[in-house]
Structure 1
Amino acid sequence: MTQHVLLNNIDHRDLKVETARGAQYGDNIMAALTYPGEFRNVQAHYPIVFQKDAHGDFQPVALFGLEAEQNLFLQGDAWDAYYVPLSVERQPFLIGMSDGEPMVHIDLDHPRVTAGSGQPLFLEHGGTTEFLDRISAMLLALHEGLQATPAYIAALQKYELLESFVLDVQTDADNHGRLAGYYTIHEERLAALDGAALGELAAADHLEPTYMVLASTARFRDLIERRRHA
């Protein structure tokens, strides 16, 4: 269940947010949304792939595991990577529209929301804390990044640069798994693009994130090794 409400310093002045990591806080997830402007940071730790949403539209995600509810970077109460995607880091906050303007909302039913330990959101006299200011900046970056994603996906589709793939994973003699249902960049088609096409992608800031996706495929080795030693 979720209960999204507009955050304010009257109704929510005593709320606190737990920032520790753990499955009990919803961190046992296989993947999370990302966006082109974040790819450089994400590819340093996680494979970036594309999946289709309920409407059949492509969306980029960072992979943390090889099966549902598996986060191979979650080590007890720690996340074993320097960078956590903003769509995870921002929990339990989200952007909601109020009178046509993006505003900070909070999910009151999220397990991170408490009235005890955790980070306070408001100062004694009603101002926002540094923690909430950081969250607000994070939400704005995420909102703008996700808004820019459809144009990036459209560019990839224009040049038929998305292809489905299947990854067979043999963790030991008795365990075999298969990762399917995801898409990646068609490397040969990208390499075959002419100068005009490459120039168009570069001018729209779509070329660099595409190469970041390709670079991120090397992180599959890390995922498989983490799975073998889990």
Structure 2
Amino acid sequence: MATQKLVNNIDHKDTKIITERSATYGDDIWFTQTFPAEFRSVQAYYPIFFTKDENTGKFLPVALFGFEQNENLFINDGLWHVPYIPLMHARAPFLIGKQTLLEDGVEKLQRVLFIDENHPRVNTEQGAPLFLEFGANAPYLENMANMMETLHHGMQDNDVFIGRLVELELLESFTLDVELNDKSKHQMLGFYTINEDKLAELSDDDVAQLHKDGHLQAIYMAIASQSNVTRLLLLKNAALGL
């Protein structure tokens, strides 16, 4: 069970974060959420598709790591074997929270960094420290704080991006059929992709607005990223010795 606590140099002066990558530390996931501002980095290695949040029914863009539950084809021997890990996953065990501060007699909400103290990466024995000897933030914590700020703004942009895709009816469901070298077949359901026919039929005004908002580039990066399904197939066959 997650125990979320505000990061501070008193309670967490000895806290360290294990940075090794393995199922032990929660890396055995087959996809994670992403957002338009990181599509350029994500599309270099992973297919980008869309799925629906089970709780809200809203569409989410996701980076795909495998073909089935608990399968991450990019981790092995304690390493994640491509240079970029999507921020929504790389952030663990940190979360963004809000805290009310009194400034010049006025209450203001400020974003603050929380940590899940029960996460398997959190310990006091090994890994990257959060704080230096005299209480200053360690470089690792500074990097994570910057990452969380980027993630916060990325999630806000996601709402606008997805809303526009839905408005223009650019998302369509599809089924991904996968055949391995041993002729075994797998079928992936519940994913969505960009409807390229409807994209081509958009009015000049709609295209111009997508371009102005920076979303047209994200759309084409999502489409281009689908060639990485071939990369996943190669990794899957290699993992099975096929």
TM over 0.5: yes
What is the aligned residue count?
Answer: 230
Give yes or no for the alignment of 1:11 onto 2:11: yes
Deviations 1:14-67 (A, max 9, x none): 100111111111111101111110001000000011111111000111000000
SS at structure 2 position matched to 1:123? coil
Residue 235 of structure 2 aligns with which residue? Answer: 226
Residue 40 of structure 1 aligns with which residue? Answer: 40
Matches of 2:75 and 2:129, distance apart in 1: 25
TM-score normalised by structure 1 residue count:
0.97
TM-score normalised by structure 2 residue count:
0.93
Percent identical residues: 43
| Consecutive aligned runs of 4 or more in structure 1 exceeding 3 Å deviation | none
How far 1:203 sits from its partner (Å)?
1.1
Matches of 1:101 and 1:61, distance apart in 2: 28
How far 1:153 sits from its partner (Å)?
0.4
For 1:70, the aligned partner's letter is E
Residue 104 of structure 2 aligns with which residue? Answer: none
Deviations 1:50-94 (A, max 9, x none): 111111000111000000000011112111111111112111111
How far 1:125 sits from its partner (Å)?
1.3
Matches of 2:182 and 2:33, distance apart in 1: 33
Deviations 1:102-139 (A, max 9, x none): 11100001010011011111111111011110110000
Deviations 1:201-229 (A, max 9, x none): 11111111011100101011111121112
Gapped regions of structure 2 (runs ≥ 5): 101-108
Give yes or no for the alignment of 1:106 onto 2:111: no
Residue 158 of structure 2 aligns with which residue? Answer: 149
Residue 21 of structure 1 aligns with which residue? Answer: 21
2:185 aligned residue (168, 176, 182):
176
How far 1:173 sits from its partner (Å)?
3.9
Residue 63 of structure 1 aligns with which residue? Answer: 64
How far 1:192 sits from its partner (Å)?
1.6
How far 1:174 sits from its partner (Å)?
5.2
How far 1:147 sits from its partner (Å)?
1.2
Residue 52 of structure 1 aligns with which residue? Answer: 52
Pairs within 5 Å for 1:184-199: 184-199=193-208
Moved more, 166-175 or 100-109: 166-175
